[in-house]
Structure 1
Amino acid sequence: MASEQYYMSLHPEVRFQPKDEELITHFLKRKISGDPLPVNIIIDELSFYEYSPIQLSKMYAFANQKELYFFTPVERKFTDSTLPRRKARNGYWIPTSKYENIEQGTEIIGVKKSLRFYAGRPRSASTKTNWTMLEYIAGEPQQYHKALIL
């Protein structure tokens, strides 16, 4: 595949900075379908919401990057609901935008949404932090299986 050859040709110190449509097509859709990812790109899969952003930054401190990428299974707030569960350890994530379509040509291939971390418990004395993330979903928001967290 041409894209895989391209990624293999990059020097290891080149910063990983894919476009939105590349995240969906080259990584997220491949992950969902079980196809192999480019061999020199490692995106860990973990239950993202079991950690606070500070814990994740300490766990991945060796990366020395401002951006970290993860695949995470999407959990539902209620078993019969499409609402995602965004409670995390020591806080919760609140959307700061609506779903934004990601297009490839004229086709919508996915969506993204930005979220901000609040430390504490909802509806009590919680503190807005500077931690933000982008959530990428392949396909329509109601049909997603995994999300790519940035």
Structure 2
Amino acid sequence: MTDRVILQREFSELMNGLHGSIVRYASERAEHHQCEVYLCVNNKSHCDQILERIFEKKVVNKLKSNQTIIIYGRKLSLYSPLTLNKSYLPEAVYLLLFPGPDLLKAVEYQASLNPVYEIIVFTESDGHTEATDQWMSEHDVRRLQTGKAAADRDTDG
């Protein structure tokens, strides 16, 4: 059974170091499952701005040239819908950054072929949310809580 989670915040909230935190979270989940992390973007040619919030430029270049890196003790490699559809991938934790409909469809297709441990979506809530809204309505998706939202939840009740 594939676990599906989403961290969805307003764009301004996502800019406060959450990119790095979600990669750490995905790496921890991959360590738990003893597998790799597949970092998934809509288009490898246009992902520099997102990836450079997490990694140094030379690491971004490695990922974009199909090299695997080690982060937090786990292998991490970069995929797009095009490369996902051409690959037979073993069990892993998939981390999707700001996914569009093609990326969500490609990852779910992989999940239908092979067991996938977890699908983690990191996206904004104040932009184009139709694709993630549709994905959430089709699957059992749990929302991740961070910072203020988790603190508010802990004080409720």
| TM-score, normalised relative to structure 2 | 0.28
**Higher relative helix content:** 2
Tell me: higher relative CO, structure 1 or 2? Use CA pairs within 8 A at least 6 residues apart: 2
Structure having the higher Rg = 1
